[in-house]
Each structure stands twice: as C-alpha cells, then as structure tokens.
Chains A and B, each alone.
Chain A
Amino acid sequence: MYNWDLAFKIFIFGFVGVFVCLTVLMFSIQICGAILKGSKNKKS
C-alpha cells in the first residue's frame, strides 16, 4: 500500500533541505560580497 511514512520523511527533509541549501548559499554570497566590499574600501 502507500508508503506514506517514507513520503512524509522525504517531504520534510527534502523541502526543508532545499531551503537550508539555498539559505546557506544566500549567506555565502552575502559574506563574500561583504569581504570583497571591505577589501575594496581598504585599498581605496
């Protein structure tokens, strides 16, 4: 019969997982941008 238990786990871990990955990427871009901006200001 339907494998709802597995499906529910995949839903939670999958959907939340996509959010977590893209949130980490978002912060990585922001941190990198801030570092580049800081080094640019330091040079000037």
Chain B
Amino acid sequence: MDVFSLNSLLLKTGIFHLTVGHLVMWAIGFLFVYLGIKKNFEPLLLVPIGFGIFIVNLPLTPLADKGDLIWIFYHYGLEWEVIPPLIFMGVGALTDFGPLIANPKTLLLGAAAQFGVYVTFFGAIALGFTVKEAASIGIIGGADGPTCIYLTAKLAPRLLGANAIAAYSYMAMVPLIQPPIMRLLTSKKERQIVMKQLRPVSKLEKILFPMIATLVICLLVPDSAPLMAMLMLGNLFRECGVVQRLSHAAQNELLNIVTIFLGIAVGTTMKAETFLNPQPIFIFILGLIAFSFSTMGGLLLAKFFNLFLKDKINPLIGSAGVSAVPMAARVTQRVGQQENPRNFLLMHAMGPNVAGVIGTATAAGMFLAFLK
C-alpha cells in the first residue's frame, strides 16, 4: 500500500478512530477541568486529572501505552510507589501534630473513623468486586487521596482512575456530606459543648513525636512504612528547626511537582475502553457510603467517650477523624459555631483530623499485610 495515498494518510489521523466512548470521556475530562477551575473543587488535582483524561482519549496518541511519556510517569510514579509517599512527606512537613500530642486520645477517634473503610469493604464484595478491589474501594472512606492511590495501585490498578476520582471528589465535598450526618447523630446540647483549652506542647515533644509514631506504627504494621515513614520524615523536617530548606522544599516544590505527575498519571488511567462500564458508578456510590460511615464512626466514639469522661468532648470533633486535612476540621468548627458562636473547635478537631491520616495509612498497611 502506498503510505502517501490520501486514504492511508487519513487513516493515520485520530479522527477516523474516534468512538462515542472517546467523546464521553472528553466530556468527563472537561467536567473535571470545569469543576477545578470554575468551582474550585480540588483544582490542583482535578485540572491535571481532567486534562489527562482528555489526552488519553485522543486516538492513536503515543502517550499512555508502554514506553510512552505518561506511561513512564505512571509506571515509575505510581507502580513503583514513588509519588504517594513523596506526597505524604509534603503533608508531614505541612502538618502540626501539636493538637494530637496535647490530646492523644483523639487518636482513637481517628481509628473509629476507619469504620467506613471496613463497612464499604463488605459492601464492595457484595456487589461482586474481588477482595483486593473491595479493599481499594473501602479505603476511599479514609478520605486520604495518596493512601487510596497507593493501595489501589498495589491491589487493583485497573480501578485507579475511578478510586482516585471518587476519593478526591468526596474530599472536596466534605462540607456538603458531613454536616447533615453531624446534625443527625448529635443533639443541640452536645454540639454546644465547649472544650477545655489544649495544653501547650513543647518543641522536644514535637521532635520526638515523628520518631515515636514511626517506631510504633512501622513495627506493628510494616506494610504501612512507605507512607508512615515519609509522613513522619516530613514532619521531622518541619519540627526540628534546623533544616528549613528541606522542610520548605518538601512543602512546596517537591509536593507541587509530584502533584503534577500524580494528577496526569491518574487521569491517563481513565481510557474509554476500561472506564465506561457500571463499575465506576458502583465505586462512587460505595465511596459515599464509606465516607458517611467513617464520619459516623468518629462521631459515635466521641459520644461513647462522653459516657465516661469528666471533661466532656464535643462529639463533632469525632467527624474530623476522616483524614481530609484540614477541611474536615474546618467543617467541625463551622457546625460548632452555628450552635455556639463563641465555641472554637478548630484546634480540637485537628487532633482527630491528623490522627485520621495515621489511621488510614495504618488501615492500608493492614490490607496490604493480608492481601498483597
């Protein structure tokens, strides 16, 4: 065949290979870009993810097949587990664990908020997903994007796009999802509880915390080490006070760079031929269930604590046990102030909020220990 004939040239263009599926995926990609730009929903991720969806659904483009540019981002970034732990390092460098150190029992609220992870795990199995896929869907309830991506890339890579989108979408929708559940499960009197001011935390305690947390969690759940160790390394940079340049780099340049690679690599997992089936819809529904049950778990444990504690805690802070930092803590503050404008719950809610990050990384490590 003459390669320069009009027919063969036309067949080498993408236009003749377009399918309805591609067009649907373009619409989804544009929707994400729109939500990121216009509605400010997690724009740092939705913009590169949306654009990634768009370009991977352009026929014949050498981008996402083995050896192509974005395949390299995906392969070395996600399959080699590089990107999520690096994001965790940045998160650690950005996080003040002071409220958690001042009130360590909030760690248990972070643990209770993993309830949704396990409820959804069962739900996903009932809907016909395999045990590994169910674990990767359940972890959406932890509301921690990097952990969700880390676990999904290891256990169910084919669900990576849908799971990542569900996790980040629900994280962006915390202010819509959580308040009705918070009001449903608490009385007005409970929401008005004013908590005792947190004690000041010394610099030495803040420096020791990342060491102790790494030691305890990584000894008990070695599979959570890539996430936990990087989270705590970033936090040690922040708290030790002698490596400001490293702390700054982890919080800014490094975090921003890996976010670009993460977004585009996740977006390019969403090819029309693999994404357009009923499963992503199930994943979105299950993600919502996971998120709701996680919120309930934290709230109910806080209420349970109040049966025994002399200094009552405001149960609203339990809902911040989902690890959408700091959005969930801000929602707690807002709902609390609607009942009592002079109640400041933000710092109290930051304890369970950062505990949720540790809890979700631990839950992911548990799943890996059982299933990898």
Q: From A33, which residue of chain B is reached at the shortest CB distance?
A: B205
Residues of chain A lying within 8 A (CB to CB) of residue B205: 32-33, 36
Interface pair A22/B101, CB less than 8 Å apart? no
B266 CB-CB contact with A under 8 Å = no
Count, A-B residue pairs, CB within 8 A: 99
Residues of chain B lying within 8 A (CB to CB) of residue A4: 125
Main secondary structure of the interface of B (DSSP, over half): helix
Known contacts A2-B126, A4-B125, A22-B359; is A29 also within 8 Å of B114 by CB? no
Interface string of B230-259 (1 = CB under 8 A from A): 000000000000000000000000000000
A21's contact among B112, B204, B221, B370, by CB below 8 Å, is which? B221
Residues of chain B lying within 8 A (CB to CB) of residue A13: 366, 370
Main secondary structure of the interface of A (DSSP, over half): helix
How many B residues, CB 8 Å from partner?
Answer: 40
- What separation, in Å, do the CA atoms of A13 and B362 have in the docked complex? 12
* Partner-A contacts on B (CB < 8 A): 100-101, 104-105, 107-108, 110-112, 114-115, 118, 121-122, 125-126, 131, 134-135, 202, 204-205, 208-209, 212-213, 215-217, 220-221, 355, 358-359, 362-363, 366-367, 370-371
**Can you give 24 A-B contacts (C-beta < 8 A)?**
A2-B125, A3-B131, A10-B118, A10-B131, A10-B135, A10-B366, A13-B366, A14-B118, A14-B367, A15-B115, A18-B363, A19-B108, A21-B111, A22-B359, A22-B362, A23-B111, A25-B213, A25-B217, A26-B105, A26-B108, A28-B216, A29-B107, A32-B208, A36-B204
